[in-house]
Amino acid sequence: MKISIGADHAGFLLKEQLRRKLTADGHHVTDHGTGSEQSCDYPEFAAAVGRDVADGSAERGVLVCGSGVGMSIAANKISGVRAAVASTEDQVRLTRAHNDVNVLTFGSRTVDGPAAERMVDAFLEAAFEGGRHAKRVDLITRLERDDD
């Protein structure tokens, strides 16, 4: 699977762990940075990953910052992105099954490495159920169009 990944300084170490895992699992990973723990601004990384997902260059995106919230907010500004902050594997499965989430965000200060790896696996394995949920995702997509 093609996966776009990014992080700010607070998420750098967890992003690196996830990038190595995804690559070892055979995924094609595009890493938009950051490349260190030096202070930087998360919106630029969220935008790069979000644009990859929105334009089809990547099938899914993964973002990491201190809380996961800032990345989620910024990524959701890109039309076509449905980003959600992850805290449990069940939540991840539900966001994929019911909301067709295509970008997953993590807080490096709230989720440890092994848990993040399990949630990424759940994110990549879970499928969108469609059905009644498709109508709701369509309504979300209309909200994006109405704001343009």
| Tokens found for residue 100 | 């067709």
- Does residue 98 carry a catalytic annotation? yes
Query: Could you say which of 9, 27, 32, 65 is catalytic?
Result: 65
Task: Let me know if 133 is a catalytic residue.
Answer: no
Please say whether the beta carbons of 93 and 133 come within 8 A.
Answer: no
DSSP string, 18-57: HHHHHHHTT-EEEE----SSS---HHHHHHHHHHHHHHTS
How far apart (Å, rounded) are the C-alpha atoms in residues 83 and 52?
13
**Catalytically active residues, by annotation:** 65, 98
